[in-house]
């Protein structure tokens, strides 16, 4: 048994750090969400909607993204037509938690790891705002492809980006890069 523990020590350390980080961050995020009333929408999701609206207005789209008066989501109205809702799941926090957990499990030195996590989180947030914006525009022009765009293409885009960040991290900066 000891032989296997020694043989699989790097894997066991990786799995332990990954799951511990993931569980702790998920619990903290749940506490954060529970601090809001059922009909309220959390601040991160509200800011994501506001940033998406700002980007659409910058691109000269007639858009309104507003908090629903009775429900925990934001309503998206593009050119006077209701397009979709922005809910808590649209803020990419779960993707960010997964990213941080993985990078932490393959950590390098503290300074590089912290810097990579911060820059990675910022880039994931920006990509998510672009994703929401593109999704709104494409759902307006191609409503019959809503399922494909929302459930397949855009999740593939954001998870693909995170995967590329992970590969970059492992090959360039993690303690396993050599």
90 located within any domain: yes
The mean of the pLDDT values for the chain is 92
For residue 122, being part of any structural domain is answered with: yes
Strand order of the sheet with strand 74-78?
Answer: 63-67, 74-78, 81-86
Counting the structural domains of the chain, the total is: 1
Burial class of 102 by CB neighbour count within 10 A (0 to 12, 13 to 18, 19+): buried
Which range marks the domain in which residue 23 is found?
A: 2-172
Contact partners, residue 83, CB within 8 Å, separation at least 6: 76, 77, 136, 139, 140
Q: Is residue 143 part of a domain?
A: yes
For residue 17, report the phi and psi dihedrals to the nearest 5 degrees. -65, -45
Residue 112 is assigned to a structural domain of this protein: yes
Tell me whether residue 163 is in a domain. Answer: yes
Going by pLDDT thresholds of 50, 70 and 90, the confidence category of residue 12 is confident
Q: What's the pLDDT score for residue 178?
A: 58
The answer to whether residue 34 sits within a structural domain is: yes
Instruction: State how far the Cα of 123 lies from the Cα of 142, in Å rounded to an integer.
Output: 27
Tokens of 39: 């009909």
Over residues 21-78, the pLDDT tens digits come to 999 999 999 999 999 887 789 999 999 999 999 999 999 999 999 998 888 899 999 9
Contact 175, 108 (CB under 8 A): yes
Which helix H or strand E contains 75, and what residues bound it?
A: strand 74-78
Q: Per-residue pLDDT for 105 more than 70? A: yes
Residue 9 scores a pLDDT above 90: no
Predicted pLDDT at 18 = 95
pLDDT (tens digit per residue) in 35-49: 988 778 999 999 999
> Which of 38-47, 113-122, 133-142 bottoms out in mean pLDDT, i.e. has the lowest?
38-47
| CB within 8 Å of 121: residues ≥ 6 apart | 96, 99, 100
Q: Is the pTM of this model over 0.75?
A: yes
Give, as one character, the DSSP assignment of residue 82. Answer: E
């Amino acid at each position: 048994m000891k032989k296997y523990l020694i043989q699989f020590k790097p894997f066991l350390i990786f799995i332990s750090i990954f799951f511990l980080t993931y569980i702790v961050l998920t619990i903290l995020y749940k506490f954060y969400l529970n601090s809001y009333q059922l009909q309220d929408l959390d601040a991160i999701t509200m800011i994501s909607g506001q940033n998406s609206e700002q980007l659409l207005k910058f691109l000269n789209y007639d858009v309104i993204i507003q908090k629903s008066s009775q429900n925990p989501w934001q309503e998206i109205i593009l050119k006077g037509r209701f397009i979709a809702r922005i809910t808590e799941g649209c803020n990419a926090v779960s993707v960010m938690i997964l990213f941080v957990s993985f990078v932490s499990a393959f950590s390098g030195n503290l300074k590089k790891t912290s810097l990579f996590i911060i820059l990675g989180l910022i880039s994931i947030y920006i990509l998510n705002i672009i994703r929401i914006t593109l999704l709104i525009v494409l759902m307006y022009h191609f409503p019959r492809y809503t399922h494909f765009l929302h459930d397949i293409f855009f999740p593939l885009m954001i998870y693909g980006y995170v995967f590329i960040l992970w590969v970059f991290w492992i090959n360039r900066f993690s303690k396993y890069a050599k």
